[in-house]
Structure 1
Amino acid sequence: MGYLTEALKIEILMMIGYGDRSRTQAEVAASFQETHPDLPPISQGTISKTEVRYREMGHVRETPRQRQPRVMNEDKQLNVLLALQENPITPVRQLARENNISHIVTIRAFHQGCQ
């Protein structure tokens, strides 16, 4: 659904219609393809998501996605660096388990601590 502009999404909503004049998603997909043969065909899922977003939020704009909160703080980074200083051959995954973080975050902590 990334290639659909806001104007195209509004056009999809107008094709869906309202009340007695509403169309099925298959009809809307076919109509959209006839109207815009230069664009890739849209799926019924795209039509459904566009309609649901409009009904729930009142608009069709993309909303920014929420990122997961960071699990690494200064204490955990310090723990990783101290553990590596005590035993430089400690496996990364072991450090990750001991600090309750992923091995990728452990590697990132090491790289940030070495700067």
Structure 2
Amino acid sequence: IFPVITFTGIFGLFKVKSFTKDGLGFVFSSLFLFGGFASTAASIFPKLLPSTNNINPSLTIENVAAHEYGLSVGMNWFFIALLLVVVYLIVQYKVFKGKMDDVGYGEH
């Protein structure tokens, strides 16, 4: 399914000039990137980093995960940082709201 998502994104990007809405270009480029990364991850699953020799084992989810305490601390800090990013984006939106003119950027 992931290669289908990738090809949908790339074929949509070839047609991006004919779209009337700018958001469709973003959607198709996001589909292309998501499908490509997901295809790569699915092709090597459950390994995160395959080994190229017989001496060192491949890195898998089981042998690279931290202890439960470390993962919980990381998740807590992730949500704190996510909240700070959302607040920052809201403040920036309010600061710059109405300060850009509609000159027709992107029209050639």
- Normalising by structure 1, report the TM-score: 0.23
Greater per-residue helix proportion: 2
The structure with the larger Rg is: 1
Greater per-residue strand proportion: 2
